Copies of this chain bind each other. A is one copy, B any other.
Amino acid sequence: MFCLTSSLEDYLEIIYILSEKSLKVGITDIAKALTVSKPSAIKAIKILKNEKLVSQEKYGKILLTSEGKKAAMAVYDKHKVISKFLNKVLEISEKTAEIDACKIEHILSKETVNGIKNYLKNVKI
């Protein structure tokens, strides 16, 4: 059974973020945003295509499938929750909160992410 790696989640997430703000999302945009080489991005996209999370015609732009968008939004949602928690509750600088959220969003258990959500819900900031 296929399972998204942290790296692939990063790709999905950035495709989602980019497509929210601009219409065209190409390999070059993705590579730049993740600061990886274009061939690295291509490899990752190829896997996501195989998993039907992304679609792309040859030499064309990249689109999330509905399943891909769902997965991407789930990651991005975690990201927002975690960075908000770090920044508002632990008073970590916005920049560091972003960086740390990027790193742990892929590996925190569901239970802990829910714990953070509840905390934010119950505690006034």
Contact = CB atoms under 8 A, between A and B. Distances in A.
Contacts of A96: 109, 111-112
A109 B119 CA distance: 22
B115 A86 contact: yes
Contacts of A23: none
Interface residues of A, number: 21
Interface string A81-103: 00000100111110011011001
Q: Which of A86, A90, A91, A93 has the most CB of B within 10 A?
A: A90
A59 to B, nearest CB: 37
A34 interface: no
A104 to B, nearest CB: 5
A119 to B, nearest CB: 6
